[in-house]
Amino acid sequence: MKNLLSSLILAALALPAIQAQERFQQEAYIITGGGEAEQVWIADSNKIEFLYFETEQGVDPKKMRIAQPEAIWLIEPPAYTEAMELFQGRKYEEALKKFQEVRETYRKLLELPDNHSSLSAFYAMECLRHLGRLDDLAKAEESFLPDDRNSLTRPYHQSQLEFFTMWMAVRAKDWSRLEIIAREYLAKNIPGYQRAQAGYCLGLALEGLKRPIEAINAYNIAMTADTGASEVITADAALNALRLYTEDKDVQLAIKFHGTPDEDPHFVGALRLKEAASLASLFELTLGGGKALPANFKDLLKYLPDEVKAEAKEEK
């Protein structure tokens, strides 16, 4: 009898801890007047107020208006950290799945500033953009709520949301409209990662409008604006430009006469052939991000000027 009573007492004492583990809550700090930080566990929210516990295993919830504290700092969940590491490691498929999970898990706090549900929905869209899955991006953008948009406080997030309009023009193959949008962005003072996007989309638009040489110049913007972080766009822009070079009739003519008495080094096709060869070499060295130069462009390396060949050997 005594053992049974002890077991019941222990179970009763453990019950609040079990309930706390089962219920949804996210650790956070409420920054009050004077910069003081109070540790809390937030369980729910709406547009006006949020519900929180003062301890992790607390049973008496309290309410506070969202506008009352100077700031609400939500502690980053481990699952979100994992998703960001996958994203930064360019493992976009894996990151996408993880972000989608975090999106649903933390949806209760959708109205809070920089909540991890809205952040995860944003980065899930970024994964889809990097993967080129524009149909899925369109669906994801439709489900990105006004509350999601309003909750994101960082300028990077807000400006990138606007860039999705440009990518939807790519999806629709609305080349004339895309050219206008891309040129408008390029005329602004925007960071490198967005300049790379605008340059690439302008290249797609000009290519769609049958203006291949202008498209190559636009792809060059994409290749040089942000090679470190925009590796997918950089590589795709380089490959598109190489394809346009090889399709150019003047380049084909220069290849035909290369090394013959009829070769003219000042011919526009010969100059473009050198550009194409240099770009193919750069793809192998840096622009490809570790990808091999496709076999159909390998022959371009034969037309590298001797001095460029020597530099390429030194780089390798």
- Predicted confidence band of residue 316 (pLDDT cuts 50, 70, 90): low
Partners of 39 in beta bridges:
29
pLDDT surpasses 80 at 34: no
- Whole-angstrom CA distances from 208 to 177, 215, 223 are 11, 9, 19
At 229, the pLDDT band (50, 70, 90 cuts) reads: confident
* Nearest-angstrom CA–CA distance, 232 and 239: 11
- The pLDDT of residue 124 is 98
Instruction: Give per-residue pLDDT as tens, 282-298.
Output: 999 999 888 899 999 99
**Domain chopping of the chain, boundaries:** 23-75, 78-151, 175-316
Lowest mean pLDDT among 15-19, 103-107, 135-139, 174-178: 15-19
In angstroms, what CA-CA distances link 248 with 200, 258, 266? 19, 15, 16
Percent of the chain with pLDDT over 70: 89
pLDDT of residue 251: 97
Please tell me the predicted confidence (pLDDT) of residue 289: 83
CA distances to 71, 204, 256 from 116, rounded to whole Å, are 15, 34, 58
> Residue 301 pLDDT more than 90?
yes
**H or E stretch covering 26:** strand 26-31
Q: Using 50, 70 and 90 to split pLDDT, how confident is the model at 11?
A: very low
Mean pLDDT, rounded, for 236-245: 97
User: Average pLDDT of 248-273?
Assistant: 94
Q: What is the pLDDT of residue 20?
A: 47
The pLDDT, as a whole number, for residue 307 is: 63
Burial classification of residue 80, based on how many CB atoms lie within 10 Å of its CB (0-12 exposed, 13-18 middle, 19 or more buried):
buried
Mean pLDDT on 83-90:
96
Q: Is the pLDDT of residue 16 over 80?
A: no
Q: Is 123 helix (H, G, I), strand (E, B) or coil?
A: helix
Average pLDDT for 213-233: 91
Model pTM score: 0.86
Q: Is the model's pLDDT at 9 over the cut of 60? A: no
What are 119-164's pLDDT values in tens digits? 999 999 999 999 999 999 999 999 999 999 999 999 999 999 999 9
- Determine the pLDDT at residue 226: 84
> What is the DSSP annotation of 186-236?
HTS---HHHHHHHHHHHHHHHHHTT-HHHHHHHHHHHHHH-TTT-HHHHHH
Q: For 169-196, give the DSSP string.
A: HHHHT-HHHHHHHHHHHHTS---HHHHH
